[in-house]
Amino acid sequence: MPRNRWDIISKLIIDNKIRTVADIGISKGQTVSGIKRNLHDSMPGGYQLEAYYGIDPFLEPYFKIEQSMLNDFNNWLPFKMVEKTSNDFFTEYKDLRVDLIFIDGDHRPEQYKKDLSNSKTALKEGGILIGHDYIPALLDRKAYATVNADWTNEPYYRISEYIDSFVGEENLNFEQDKRVESGKPVFIWWTFKKGDKFSKVRE
């Protein structure tokens, strides 16, 4: 049975004792809300993160997270809303190092490449780099992208190749998300930072 992306991320947080998270492309807060339900609302005693950074310039007002939700997050953990592009975030917080970075922001290929590179720098050793909207190489990516033109058009097909190249396909974990788009599954991917490279497992 496929899991939601926030269920996958929550388990990675618990299993790897993650304390600090950066969420690129927080949008309406669906992912962090799911993480809160898993780590706080549904867990006896709760799991306490030290910091959660939500990054999004909110160029489209419809996708902006509600203030009431932000207030709710702050009652659980030190939540920092950064209303900036990911490029500006990484520049302003250039000395910040976190345990987990979730990439689900600007999916234009060139920007996604920047997010991959900047995230690698901002991750602590053994940290987890994780992203959404991945098309595994075992699928016919071009055909898949054509069928799902509404969400996985050519840029999505291309970023999947960038992820494989940047991380190393042999270092990638991926799992089908519970969410389905146009009758096709969506995938989430993750890897662990190991020196200047990545690893499929945390060592």
Q: Is the residue at 167 inside a domain?
A: no
38 in helix, strand or coil?
helix
**Rg of the chain over all Cα atoms, to the nearest angstrom:** 16
16 in helix, strand or coil?
coil
The residue to which tokens 């309406």 are assigned:
28
110 in helix, strand or coil?
helix
Q: Is the residue at 50 inside a domain?
A: yes
Q: Which CATH number fits the domain that encloses residue 118?
A: 3.40.50.150
Listed in sequence order, the residues at least 6 apart from 4 whose beta carbon sits closer than 8 Å to its beta carbon are 34, 177, 178, 179
Say whether pLDDT at 19 is over 50.
yes
Do residues 107 and 156 make contact, with C-beta atoms less than 8 angstroms apart?
yes
More confident residue, 118 or 74: 118
Q: Is the residue at 65 inside a domain?
A: yes
Mean pLDDT confidence for 93-100: 97
Q: Is the residue at 177 inside a domain?
A: no
Spatial distance between the Cα atoms of 177 and 23, rounded to a whole number of angstroms:
17
pLDDT computed for residue 118 by the predictor: 98
Mean pLDDT confidence for 113-123: 97
pLDDT computed for residue 75 by the predictor: 82
Do residues 202 and 192 make contact, with C-beta atoms less than 8 angstroms apart?
yes
More confident residue, 142 or 101: 101
Q: Residues of the chain with pLDDT > 90: what percent?
A: 63
More confident residue, 68 or 96: 96
Q: Residues of the chain with pLDDT > 70: what percent?
A: 93
Say whether pLDDT at 129 is over 90.
yes
Structure tokens at 180: 């389905």
Helical H segments across the chain, by residue range = 5-15, 30-36, 67-74, 86-92, 109-122, 141-147, 154-167
Instruction: Tell which residue, 95, 81, 9, has the closest CA to residue 47.
Output: 9
Q: Is the residue at 32 inside a domain?
A: yes
Q: Is the residue at 161 inside a domain?
A: no
pLDDT computed for residue 145 by the predictor: 67
Q: How many Cβ atoms are within 10 Å of 20's Cβ, its own excluded?
A: 18
Strands 98-103 and 79-82: unpaired
Mean pLDDT confidence for 115-139: 95
Given CA atoms 139, 141, 143, 148 in this order, what sign does their dihedral have?
A: positive
Spatial distance between the Cα atoms of 15 and 64, rounded to a whole number of angstroms:
30
Q: Please give the residue range of the domain that contains residue 110.
A: 5-132
More confident residue, 59 or 9: 9
pLDDT computed for residue 152 by the predictor: 47
Say whether pLDDT at 78 is over 70.
yes
Instruction: Tell which residue, 14, 200, 2, 22, has the closest CA to residue 124.
Output: 22
Say whether pLDDT at 167 is over 90.
yes
Domains: count for the chain: 1
